[in-house]
Structure 1
Amino acid sequence: MFPWALRHLPGPHQQIFRYQEAVRGFIRYEIIRHKLKKPEAPKDFISCYLARITKAMDDPVSTFNEENLIQVVIDLFLGGTDTTATTLRWALIYMVHHGAIQERVQQELDTVLGTAQAVCYEDRERLPYARAVLHEVQRLSSVVAVGAVRQCVTSTCVRGYYIPKGTVILPNLASVLYDPECWETPRQFNPGHFLDKDGNFVVNEAFLPFSAGHRVCPGDQLARMELFLMFTTLLRTFRFQLPEGSPGLRLDYIFGGTLQPQSQEICAVPRLCSPSPGPKEGDL
């Protein structure tokens, strides 16, 4: 009833507030650094937002201000950084658990890319198996089981159910990602869900880890690029395995803001066939 009182009560939750202030301080520093730069065309989000603040200075109802800018940047951090890192953790766990799949991804990377210096996002079209594996990680261990909270702005009917205006709606993404009518083996890790009979990557309309519609994740495309580049670079450079004496992997998740994997140790062993350094064609 009184959330503001939490700031005045002792307890472990106070560490959250300290972390929050540290993040806000870092963002304020970045805003000041951007404002001290010579005027130029906006090159990033903070620059664009500051330009919008200046443009809306004479608008009394404008919501563009530095406090809102700080909060939006925090939202971007929370919505993108944690979810991407968690998805990569799940990916490495599944690669250890399914050693044959890890080897097949690495064989594809070696065959297609050879000694190229770095993986490019455009390479995804030539790496259908690696792409399918990453999609299967997102499907089977989607870090968000329930989509963003929505509110019905007008009364409507959905499949015979009357939904009055103002109803709060929670889209159940997991019900689609595990739907047996859409997936051959919904509860098993199976990259074949995203491959045709010839091994080409195919899109499945039931793949909705980023939600859908007007409330789809705004970082959808950025997350796809980050995940592909990080996942393929990691598997191209290292082989992931359990350390000696390990009791094995734990695949059950920890439920919280996101579905986190259990904390466990994994060894990253450098691969002997990792690409040698050198300029990639087109870099000069």
Structure 2
Amino acid sequence: MFPWPLRHLPGPHQEMFRHQKAVKGFIRQEIMRHKLGAPEAPKDFISCYLAQITKAMDDPVSTFNEENLIQVVIDLFLGGTDTTATTLRWALILMVQHRDVQERVQQELDEVLGAASAVCYEDRERLPYTCAVLHEVQRLSSVVTVGAVRQCVTSTRVCGYPMPKGTIILPNLASVLYDPECWETPRQFNPGHFLDKDGNFVVNEAFLPFSAGHRMCPGDQLARMELFLMFATLLRNFRLQLPEGSPRLKLEYIFGGTLQPQPQDICAVPRLGSPSPGPRAECL
């Protein structure tokens, strides 16, 4: 990923290599822990991958090995950490901007979950409006506007245009997420994009924040679970608002690897009757 001379040149980038070494060390420890544990049916990604390494030991062209396992785990960490955290930050900002939507989500959470001690991922089936709001956050924030670079392995045609073998492809995800032919109000926050006339949650085929096809984000299911559980738990327990005397919300993004919101304070005020105790407000 980085030209090899960078590893031998002094500078602040060396800290990145130290962090990379630490992450690899942690993953190696987890792999060793799995290998030393009692034999049992694979129950997580590392144990499944180790089982596949064992199956492919006699295959001379197999790419299943521990070094690739380490890199795949790193990809899952890096691919999900920044995008999930950024999407959640946009969700908090949009809930402060649209107080009516925030209150409606909280009303649905209260009515459906009642006195339950925690939000479960299975609860999403009974929370159509909450799911619609979270999907609309992902659509409108579009933290990754352009998908990963791809290359045609064979000549083909797309929408009538020839794509010779070796053509470099940059999928423009934002063009789909903001397409006026697919969304009623493409540039406005509108949870109704994911609700039918009866208020049931519906999936729009143009919703592609994780890209599509065989090379779509491998951590999309993990990201969906993380976003739902964190978003629902936060809104169930806290009322989100700007600190007193704070200027207006900063809605302009910072362009980088992902479209980041600008740093700003948001107060999380505990809601009366929420399952989580505590009388103090927290700034996020």
TM-score above 0.5: yes
Shift in Å, 1:179:
0.7
1:180/1:186 contact within 8 Å kept: yes
2:76/2:218 contact within 8 Å kept: no
Shift in Å, 1:138:
0.4
Amino acid at match of 1:58: D
Amino acid at match of 2:114: G
Amino acid at match of 1:129: Y
Amino acid at match of 2:255: F
Amino acid at match of 1:136: E
2:147/2:171 contact within 8 Å kept: yes
Residue in 2 that maps onto 1:7? 7
CA distance in 2, matches of 1:260, 1:108: 29
Report % sequence identity: 87
4+ runs deviating over 6 angstroms: none
Residue in 2 that maps onto 1:24? 24
Residue in 2 that maps onto 1:154? 154
2:84/2:227 contact within 8 Å kept: yes
Q: Cα RMSD between the aligned structures?
A: 1.8
Residue in 2 that maps onto 1:280? none
**Superposed, which structure 2 residues align to 1:77-88 within 5 Å?**
77-88=77-88
Determine if the alignment matches structure 1 residue 141 to structure 2 residue 141. Answer: yes
**Superposed, which structure 2 residues align to 1:122-201 within 5 Å?**
122-201=122-201
2:251/2:261 contact within 8 Å kept: yes
Shift in Å, 1:65:
1.7
2:237/2:276 contact within 8 Å kept: no
Shift in Å, 1:243:
1.4
- 3-state SS of 2:157 partner: strand
1:115/1:276 contact within 8 Å kept: no
Aligned residues, how many? Answer: 276
- Once the two structures are superposed, residues 149-186 of structure 1 have per-residue CA deviations (whole angstroms, 9 ceiling, x without a partner) of 22112222323322211101011010010011111111
Amino acid at match of 1:37: G
Amino acid at match of 1:101: V
Shift in Å, 1:48:
1.8
Shift in Å, 1:55:
2.9
CA distance in 2, matches of 1:192, 1:7: 50
Amino acid at match of 1:15: E
CA distance in 2, matches of 1:225, 1:13: 33
Residue in 1 that maps onto 2:36? 36
Shift in Å, 1:196:
2.1
Residue in 1 that maps onto 2:51? 51
TM-score by length of 2: 0.91
CA distance in 1, matches of 2:55, 2:158: 42
- 3-state SS of 1:129 partner: helix
The gaps in structure 2 that reach 5 residues or longer are 278-284
- Once the two structures are superposed, residues 93-131 of structure 1 have per-residue CA deviations (whole angstroms, 9 ceiling, x without a partner) of 111111111111101111122112222222222211111
TM-score by length of 1: 0.91
The gaps in structure 1 that reach 5 residues or longer are 278-284
- 3-state SS of 1:215 partner: coil
Shift in Å, 1:200:
1.9
Shift in Å, 1:71:
0.5
Shift in Å, 1:276:
7.3
